Structure 1
Amino acid sequence: MRRASSFRATYDAALARWPGPVDSVDLPTPYGVTRVNRCGPAGAPPLVLLPGGGATSTVWGACVAAGAARAHRVHAVDLVGDPGLSVPAADRAIRSVGDLVGWLDAVLDGLGPHGPVTLAGHSYGAWIAAHHAALRPDRLGRLVLLDPTQVFTGLRPGYVLRALPVLARPTPERIRSFLAWETRGAALDPAWLRLQEEIAGFPAVRPVTGPRPDLAGLAHPSGGGPRVDVLFAGLARCHDSGRAARAARELLPGAAVDVLPGVAHHALPLTAAEEIVRRLAR
């Protein structure tokens, strides 16, 4: 109970740093209750944000501060089964890609967005977003993938080896050390970093993994699918960003694919927020 209350207090402190009013809502889905933190004009075009694994929806605070909610109604989602305030259903766990797509369908239904949805995800959240777009292209107006993992290329073995101790037995020290290594010592939001340390006490849940999404149907936006933007972190240790970008351009010739130099994978939503928001506004 003490760990849960400490996590909640740290989560609330990170969310309190967001500018302007934030409306938090718990959406019922067949897979559990999903926490969504919303801000921006109620009638503005919807922007649904999926965080990386373990990052929680609070990771998008820098993007909100940079103006993501000026022209959009932002819906920042806590992944069900991941650290955050979403609560998995006791009798129906998410076990497959199909379950993830069904869960996100239910979230979008619950949000009742006005107009075409822009779905943006970072890292593991981008993998989920890509699978959803591949199977439900008619639900989206735009897909934005921010340093997506396991979408265009695999993970580097060295990154996996460094991450394994954190995944197997997370401690605040291991989490800090891993993030400092991957981001090359980038200055991360201290409130978000404290929340990451709190995640060490969060119940471990094995994330759903699976094949790369089949994005062939999204190769040309004129075919009726969403417009696709892909932004890779130039300093990412999880994969070779240049190789991943080449693979993305080959697979999605109609997409806007870029590599942002000087930014690491885990730091991307925190330290490159202005660039992300600029691209969202295009």
Structure 2
Amino acid sequence: MTMYEELTVPVPGGELAVLHWPATVPDAPVVVAVHGITANALAWGAAARLLAGRVDLYAPDLRGRAASRTVGGPYGLARHADDIALLVEELGLGPVRLAGHSMGAWVAALTAVRHPSAVARLLLVDGAVSFPLPPGIGADDALAAVLGPALARLSMTFADRDAYRDFWRKHPAMAEWTDELDAYTQRDLVGEEPELRSSCVREAIRVDGGQVLLDAEAAGAVRQLPCPAELLWAERGLMDEPQGLYDEQRLAAADLPIPTEAVPGTNHYTIIATQTLADRLLT
């Protein structure tokens, strides 16, 4: 694990937890990285290692998750975007290179639209591009179908920390188990044995997930960006299935105003642990 420090930033409702991997070179760019819907800041641990101190990297636990779980509602993607802008302002970072993965990509795009002075450029990672739900499919059913065990675990308890490790090791999209993956999953746990549970606040996940699927402001943000941006997308899906969230045909039909690029050999989770992503954050 690359060493980091833990900070807090005041936001409406409490203190947002932020991890900081300091740069080790002069004049390094500042990157703020936003995690996915049931994730936490240590989702960016592998990226921090690959960046090797060449950027000043900040990653928050979004409200309702991990060390920010006590920061209450209202939730929603616009609230997260405003929290990111407050982080940039409070820490005197802006304008920053802003990256977002999965739901974090919608949050990053909204941050740029709502707070253009905070963002110099955007890297959207397997997210931010919305498509209509099939007829007759509600947001709750769609979210459960897409997220699978990542969502199901929110109603589960675990006897000990090894039980939680075993749960994640069985996830079909997880790569070779690493210290970074271990730290990321362990950061999610709260409570006491034998009833450990995920830190994610269910209401936060419900509200945020519904907006990823249905919110017009979030869906439109990628078409209103005030700064340079690009989208990296994974070839495979959240369960490592051959069909990912995006493919060349779907993205071509979307007629996006930003460049897009597939990252070969990745799924929705492994894409943020690639050299391709690290290289994009440096350019």
TM-score normalised by length of structure 2: 0.74
Equivalent position SS for 1:186: coil
Equivalent position SS for 1:61: helix
Give me the whole-angstrom Cα distance separating, in 2, the residues matched to 1:181 and 1:87: 24
Question: Aligned pair in 2 of structure 1 residues 278, 101: CA closer, same or farther (>3 Å)?
Answer: closer
1:161 Cα shift? 4.6
Question: Aligned pair in 2 of structure 1 residues 252, 107: CA closer, same or farther (>3 Å)?
Answer: farther
Counterpart in the other structure of 1:7? none
Equivalent position SS for 1:201: strand
Contact 2:235–2:262 under 8 Å retained in 1: yes
Contact 1:241–1:259 under 8 Å retained in 2: no
Q: Structure 2 matches for 1:46-65, cutoff 5 A? A: 46-65=30-49
Counterpart in the other structure of 2:139? none
Equivalent position SS for 1:58: helix
Check if 1:146 corresponds to 2:125: yes
Counterpart in the other structure of 1:112? 92
Contact 1:31–1:103 under 8 Å retained in 2: no
The aligned amino acid for 2:10 is: P
Question: Aligned pair in 2 of structure 1 residues 53, 96: CA closer, same or farther (>3 Å)?
Answer: closer
Counterpart in the other structure of 2:115? 136
1:25 Cα shift? 1.7
Counterpart in the other structure of 2:201? 205
Cα deviations by residue, 1:43-81 (Å, 9 ceiling, x for unpaired): 5322101112343212212112112631x2211211121
Counterpart in the other structure of 1:82? 65
Check if 1:228 corresponds to 2:229: yes
**Matched pairs, number:** 253
Question: Aligned pair in 2 of structure 1 residues 101, 168: CA closer, same or farther (>3 Å)?
Answer: same
1:219 Cα shift? 3.9
Give me the whole-angstrom Cα distance separating, in 1, the residues matched to 2:86 and 2:26: 20
Counterpart in the other structure of 1:24? 6
Question: Aligned pair in 2 of structure 1 residues 186, 121: CA closer, same or farther (>3 Å)?
Answer: same
Q: Among 245, 248, 260, which residue is 2:263 paired with?
A: 260
Equivalent position SS for 1:62: helix
Contact 1:49–1:120 under 8 Å retained in 2: yes
Cα deviations by residue, 1:192-243 (Å, 9 ceiling, x for unpaired): 335515625244402232134456565486xxx1111111111213694374
Give me the whole-angstrom Cα distance separating, in 2, the residues matched to 1:108 and 1:176: 37
Question: Aligned pair in 2 of structure 1 residues 152, 118: CA closer, same or farther (>3 Å)?
Answer: farther
Equivalent position SS for 2:171: helix
Equivalent position SS for 1:18: coil
Counterpart in the other structure of 1:5? none
The aligned amino acid for 1:182 is: P
Contact 2:77–2:218 under 8 Å retained in 1: no
Check if 1:269 corresponds to 2:272: yes
Give me the whole-angstrom Cα distance separating, in 1, the residues matched to 2:49 and 2:16: 23
Contact 1:68–1:277 under 8 Å retained in 2: no
The aligned amino acid for 2:47 is: C
Q: Among 101, 121, 124, which residue is 1:122 paired with?
A: 101
Give me the whole-angstrom Cα distance separating, in 1, the residues matched to 2:132 and 2:166: 26
**Percent identity at matched positions?**
21
Counterpart in the other structure of 1:281? 282
Give me the whole-angstrom Cα distance separating, in 2, the residues matched to 1:94 and 1:228: 28
Counterpart in the other structure of 1:102? 82
Counterpart in the other structure of 1:169? 156
Larger mean CA deviation between 120-129 and 158-167 belongs to 158-167
Give me the whole-angstrom Cα distance separating, in 1, the residues matched to 2:32 and 2:104: 11
TM-score normalised by length of structure 1: 0.74
Q: Which runs of 5+ in 2 are unaligned?
A: 134-141, 190-195
Equivalent position SS for 1:141: strand
Contact 2:19–2:60 under 8 Å retained in 1: yes
Counterpart in the other structure of 1:186? 175
Give me the whole-angstrom Cα distance separating, in 2, the residues matched to 1:157 and 1:54: 12
Counterpart in the other structure of 1:11? none
Counterpart in the other structure of 2:137? none
1:18 Cα shift? 0.5
Give me the whole-angstrom Cα distance separating, in 2, the residues matched to 1:161 and 1:218: 26
Q: Which runs of 5+ in 1 are unaligned?
A: 1-16
Q: Structure 2 matches for 1:150-161, cutoff 5 A? A: 151-152=130-131, 158-161=145-148
